[in-house]
């Protein structure tokens, strides 16, 4: 049983957080493009950043700031321009953005974290950003989570957020998260961003460790098209406003908080995978029996990322040969005579030997997973209006209904279970199928 | 200047080699599906095999045989069934195939190497194979290279072969090669096979080293969809029938032979990349200034394999941001302030700073590369007849004309040049663009 419950409110569900999202004119479409999340008091802050050698200015800025001082009051995010590969001027723009929002909030200069997403090589439209800040700050609200959700997306089909509540010392602790990213083939805007807020009181080293481990089990285990962005980042704030006892050492409370954090991150990560361009379903790969968790992760990610596997799933083809092939090339040793593969409840291979199974029924299982997930996605999309290339989310559903549909869309993954031996290593990874629309959309895109 | 010339004849161009290819009823289509290459005398043999943990029976068989005795007289290849994931019975079938062909050639049992390609999980149709062997052996001819080319392909659009001649000790030495594979999304038949024949006299350790290094610079540097097959293998025979002085130690002759071998392997590897499903052009990525050749290889492969880069090339979009992004995530450190990128003759980025360039002209360059390559491919295809899903190659062009067109199809790659610093490491990699047809073909495939 999960030790938490789903609540509404996204990043503003935890106490002491306000958020806003406005259209500041950074996106050509006129959609919301500037988001702000503010904590009422100084919050412990942890960040995880892209491992790419080519990094946006905002990534360097945040990493340096958090190394000097692992706390913050605000996160400013612009969508439209990635501010990556923009040289010295890009660095200056990043600093100017962070300073501008800090000034507008009457905070010291190093109080705000920043994130950018959009076209690589384009500087932030600083005039529009500066001009938008007063309105952004005046729009801050303790119910502004959804506005922030909408202002950070680029080519996403749907916004992605979640909020959970648990008990620490008999008092409620809340955590909220929002993310953007749909990977796949998109005109330069495949960046993954995630922001997590929490009102628990937790020590900085513990929080940083929790965030690192939760990322390893969630965002690092999704794969859409394998392209890591210059701007990928997760920023997580914990402000203590729940007034619960401070968690300063490992133990049951720390475990509960980390489990909730992991759940938030996994939900956001799955949402990104499910929103892959043209995807019709979510794929969950469960690997057991590996030499280590790390080895299991590698096998799970390789299967989830295999074009051959992804296209077989789209073809509703229970093609165990492609799964075995992907497992084999994952770069981690195992004995093929111990390889077992299942798809949903269908056993396809046991100890290296193909098993007879009902192909039609297994194919129907794949079809059913996709239909259920697509139905839930449709319910969200029907309540949105969108432009052709860039999302203009004006979701009219009540938050609770939207959240239910978002959870439902992730509740029918195609489950691929792979056992590679007697080892203790286990891991999960998520991806999506590779459909006709994936390249169709892209093939029709030219500059 | 290249130290060799192109000749016709493929794997039967070198002295003392005969080959054959027949339709034995292994493929449902009735196309040629059984190939044989025979050396008149015992030939030094070297092999490079898939690194997958899930390996076909033929791969294990050849590797064990070559470890025990690095020489062979024949290579038997069947197309239609991969004989991978077929357990103990698959092993027995592999041994039975090798023994059957050896008996038919009046050779000892461990004289023949074997290779399989086709559907994973399917055993070789042994009755058809056994029944076909007499006809296969009686069809052997010193002009049979093209027949073997046609009998090893599966979903390839065109056959892939080459032959070169050089001088060793003032006498001609010839080398021929044939390959199959088109990677991309194919129903379980993405295996890459390559067979090289040579009439040079060379010592076994030298030949093995040469084959290993040539593979690293060629087959290991192509990427189509990233899926390594259970059956991938390269087998290379050198029989000494040129009667040239034996090459037993490093030196100018060894260098010349290795250069020719590398050229044969690169030609075959590029041919496979160019034949990627739906591809409209060949992409060549040249990386310099890396810390090591290994680091350069990794960056080059990552760029060539990036879905975002591949789709930009198909969109005729000179999108340097995607190239920079792919270089950055290749997993090898460099300073982004030293990153320079060119596309053909167009400088897109210098020392980390985007450069102004004529986008329309750069786009026209991409278009022109594709048009020239496609024209040459069309000339080959017009002389072939094909079935819908499986190749039925009945090329009517004279060998010389076909070979010229095959070389022409590879002569206009889209060249991406990336410099990452002052290091000594350099490498090339090849891939193809990602087109609408890539998924179109696959999306329409269901079992």
pLDDT digits (tens, 9 = 90+) for B309-353: 888 899 898 988 889 989 998 989 999 999 999 999 999 999 998
pLDDT in tens, B349-381: 999 989 999 999 999 999 999 999 999 988 888
Bridge partners for B141 per DSSP: B19
Q: What is the mean pLDDT of residues A413-428?
A: 97
pLDDT the model gives residue B440: 57
Residue A116 has pLDDT above 50, yes or no: yes
Question: Residue A89 above 80 pLDDT?
Answer: yes
- Looking at the complex, does the CB of residue A120 fall below 8 Å from at least one CB of chain B? yes
Residues 6+ positions from A128 with CB-CB distance below 8 Å: A24, A25, A26
Q: How confident is residue B404, by pLDDT bands cut at 50, 70 and 90?
A: confident
Per-residue pLDDT reduced to its tens digit, B279-320: 899 999 999 999 999 999 999 999 998 888 888 899 898 988
**What is the H or E stretch that residue A73 is in?**
strand A71-81
Question: Cα(B434)–Cα(A112) distance, rounded to whole angstroms?
Answer: 41
Structural element, H or E, at residue A348: strand A346-350
Give the percent of chain B with pLDDT over 70.
Answer: 91
Residue with tokens 């023949």: B112
Per-residue pLDDT, A149: 95
> Does B196 have pLDDT greater than 90?
yes
Contact criterion met (CB below 8 Å) for B48 and B215: yes
The total number of residues written for chain A in this structure: 447
The answer to whether the CB of A76 falls within 8 A of the CB of A114 is: yes
Query: What is the pLDDT averaged over residues B45-52?
Result: 92
pLDDT at position B227: 64
Residue A383 predicted with pLDDT over 80: no
Residues of B in contact with A84 (CB under 8 A): 321
Contact between B447 and A363 using a beta-carbon 8 Å cutoff:
yes
Which tokens is A379 given? 């319910």
Set of chain A residues whose Cβ sits within 8 Å of the Cβ of B307: 184-185, 225-227
Identify all chain A residues contacting B352, using CB atoms and an 8 Å cutoff.
Answer: 85, 87
User: What is the band of A382 on the pLDDT scale with cuts at 50, 70, 90?
Assistant: confident
A282: left (phi over 0), alpha (psi -120 to 50) or beta: beta
What radius of gyration do chain B's Cα atoms show?
A: 22
Residue B186: pLDDT band by 50, 70, 90 thresholds? very low
Cβ atoms of B300 and B221 within 8 Å: the answer is yes
Does B120 touch chain A if contact means CB atoms closer than 8 Å? yes
Neighbouring-strand partners of residue B196 = B177, B236
What pLDDT does A162 receive?
Answer: 95
Tokens 């990452």 correspond to: B420
Read off the tokens for B36.
């044989």
Helix, strand, coil fractions of chain B, as percent rounded to 5: 40, 25, 35
Helix, strand, or coil here: A115?
strand
DSSP H or E segment with residue B384: none
**Which residues touch A31 (CB under 8 Å, ≥6 apart)?**
A23, A150, A387, A390, A391, A392, A393
Q: Which of B224, B308, B309, B341 to mutate to test the interface with A (most CBs of A within 10 A)?
A: B308
State the average pLDDT over residues A272-278. Answer: 85
Q: Is B279 exposed, middle or buried (0-12, 13-18, 19+ CB in 10 A)?
A: buried
Residue that wins the pLDDT comparison between B435 and A197: A197
Confidence (pLDDT) at A182: 72
CB-based contact B53 A227, cutoff 8 Å: no
Query: Is residue A179 a contact partner of residue A161, using CB atoms and an 8 Å limit?
Result: yes
What phi and psi values does residue A419 have, to the nearest 5 degrees? Answer: -115, 130
3-state helix, strand, coil in chain A (%, to 5): 40, 25, 35
Residue keyed to tokens 């054959």: B20
Q: What average pLDDT does the segment A105-117 reach?
A: 96
DSSP 8-state secondary structure symbol assigned to residue A143: T
Give the tens place of pLDDT for each residue, A9-40.
Answer: 999 999 999 999 999 999 998 999 999 999 99
The predicted pLDDT at position B260 comes to 96
Q: What percent of chain B has pLDDT over 90?
A: 72
* B55 part of contact set with chain A, CB < 8 Å: yes
Determine the Cα–Cα distance for residues B325 and B10; give it in Å rounded to an integer: 40
Torsion sign across C-alpha atoms B179, B192, B49, B309:
positive
Distances from the Cα of B335 to the Cα of A142, A188, B174, B224, angstroms: 42, 21, 45, 28
Nearest to B445 among A121, A315, A329 (CB): A315
What is the pTM (predicted TM-score) of this model? 0.85
DSSP state of A122: P
For the stretch B98-117, pLDDT in tens is: 999 999 999 999 999 999 99
Inter-chain touch A324–B228, beta carbons under 8 Å: no
Mean pLDDT of B239-250: 95
Neighboring chain B residues of A230 at a CB cutoff of 8 Å = 324-325, 328
A128-167 per-position pLDDT tens digit:
999 999 999 999 999 999 999 999 998 888 899 999 999 9
> Measuring CA to CA, how many Å separate B189 from each of B156, B370, B433?
10, 26, 20
Range 347-376 of B in CB contact (< 8 A) with A: 349, 352-354, 359, 363
In tens, the pLDDT along B1-20 reads: 468 999 999 999 999 999 99
User: Is residue B344 helix, strand or coil?
Assistant: coil
- How do beta strands B353-354 and B346-350 pair? antiparallel
Among B52, B85, B325, beta carbon nearest to A321: B85
Give B162's contacts (C-beta < 8 A, 6+ positions apart). B6, B10, B176, B177, B264, B267, B268, B271, B403, B406
pLDDT higher than threshold 80 for residue B69: yes
Q: In this structure, are strands B414-419 and B282-290 parallel, antiparallel, or unpaired?
A: parallel
Q: Give yes or no for a contact between A99 and A109, defined as CB atoms under 8 angstroms apart.
A: yes
Of B26, B269, B290, the closest CA to residue B136 belongs to B26
How far apart (Å, rounded) are the C-alpha atoms in residues B339 and B352? 5
Q: Per the CB < 8 Å rule, is A328 touching B55?
A: yes
Q: What is the mean pLDDT of residues B150-162?
A: 90
Mean pLDDT, all residues of chain B: 90
Per-residue pLDDT, averaged over B55-67, amounts to 95
Tokens of B76: 């038997």
Note whether B51 and B224 are within 8 A (CB).
Answer: no
> How much is the pLDDT for B438?
62
- Residue A55 contacts B, CB cutoff 8 Å: yes
Section B146-156 average pLDDT: 92
Per the listing, tokens 């968690």 go with A247
Q: Which residue, among B435, B390, B447, has the nearest Cα to B276 in the 3D structure?
A: B435
Number of H helices, E strands in chain B: 12, 15
Q: What is the pLDDT of residue A186?
A: 44
Quote the distance between the C-alpha of residue B159 and its chain's center.
11
When pLDDT is cut at 50, 70 and 90, the band that residue A51 belongs to is confident
The answer on pLDDT for A184 being more than 60 is no
The three-class DSSP label of residue B314 is helix
B328: nearest CB among A52, A329, A438: A52
Split at pLDDT 50, 70, 90, the class of A222 is confident
How would you list the strands of the sheet with B414-419, edge to edge? B353-354, B346-350, B340-343, B414-419, B282-290, B425-432
pLDDT for position A204: 96
Element holding A160 (H helix, E strand): strand A160-168
Q: Write the DSSP assignment of A18-32 as a string of letters.
A: EEEEE--S-STT---
A388 has a chain B CB within 8 A of its CB: no
Q: What is the pLDDT of residue B380?
A: 84
Confidence check: pLDDT of A203 > 60: yes
The answer to whether A172 and A185 have CB atoms below 8 angstroms apart is: no
Sign, CA dihedral B275-B281-B282-B287, equals negative
Query: From start to end of B82-224, where are the E strands?
Result: 112-119, 160-168, 171-180, 193-198
A396 is catalytic: no
Instruction: Please write the tens of the pLDDT for every residue from A301-317.
Output: 999 988 888 888 998 98
pLDDT at residue B446, rounded to an integer: 39
**String of DSSP letters for A251-281:** SHHHHHHHHHHHHHHHHHHHHHHHTSTT--S
State how far Cα A13 lies from the chain centre: 18
B21 to chain A, closest Cα gap in Å: 27
């Amino acid at each position: 049983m999960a030790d938490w419950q789903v609540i509404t409110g996204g990043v503003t569900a935890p106490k002491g957080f306000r958020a806003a999202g406005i259209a500041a004119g950074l996106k050509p479409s006129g959609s919301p493009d500037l988001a702000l999340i503010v904590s009422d008091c100084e919050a412990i802050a942890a960040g995880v950043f892209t491992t790419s050698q080519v990094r946006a200015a905002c990534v360097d800025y945040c990493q340096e700031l958090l190394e000097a001082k692992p706390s913050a009051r605000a996160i400013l995010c612009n969508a439209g321009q990635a501010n990556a590969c923009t040289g010295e001027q890009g660095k200056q723009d990043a600093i100017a953005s962070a300073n501008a929002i800090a000034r507008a909030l009457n905070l010291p200069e190093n109080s705000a974290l920043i994130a950018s997403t959009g076209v690589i090589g384009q500087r932030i439209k600083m005039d529009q950003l500066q001009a938008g800040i007063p309105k952004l700050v005046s729009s801050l609200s303790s119910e502004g989570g959804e506005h922030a959700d909408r202002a950070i997306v680029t080519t996403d089909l749907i916004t992605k957020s979640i909020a959970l509540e648990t008990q620490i010392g008999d008092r409620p602790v809340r955590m909220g998260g929002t993310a953007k990213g749909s990977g796949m083939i998109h005109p330069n805007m495949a960046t993954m961003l995630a922001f997590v807020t929490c009102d628990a009181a937790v020590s900085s080293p513990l929080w940083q460790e929790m965030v690192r481990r939760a990322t390893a089990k969630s965002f690092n285990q999704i794969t859409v098209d394998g392209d890591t962005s210059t701007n990928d980042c997760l920023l997580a704030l914990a402000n203590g406003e729940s007034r619960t006892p401070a968690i300063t050492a490992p133990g049951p409370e720390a475990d509960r908080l980390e489990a909730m954090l992991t759940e938030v991150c996994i939900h956001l990560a799955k949402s990104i995978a499910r929103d892959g361009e043209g995807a019709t379903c979510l794929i969950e790969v469960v690997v057991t029996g590996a030499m280590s968790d790390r080895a299991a992760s590698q096998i799970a990610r390789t299967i989830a990322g295999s074009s051959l596997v992804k296209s077989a799933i789209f073809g509703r083809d229970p093609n165990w040969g492609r799964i075995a092939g992907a497992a084999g090339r994952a770069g981690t040793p195992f004995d093929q005579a111990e390889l077992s593969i299942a798809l949903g409840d269908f056993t396809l291979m046991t100890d290296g030997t193909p098993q007879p199974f009902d192909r039609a029924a297994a194919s129907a299982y794949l079809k059913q997973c996709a239909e259920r997930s697509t139905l839930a996605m449709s319910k969200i999309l029907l309540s949105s209006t969108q432009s052709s290339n860039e999302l203009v989310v004006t979701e009219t559903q009540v938050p609770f209904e939207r959240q239910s549909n978002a959870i439902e869309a992730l509740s029918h993954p195609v489950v691929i279970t792979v056992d590679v031996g007697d080892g203790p290593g286990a891991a999960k990874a998520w991806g999506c199928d590779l459909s006709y629309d994936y390249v169709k959309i892209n093939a029709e895109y030219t500059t």
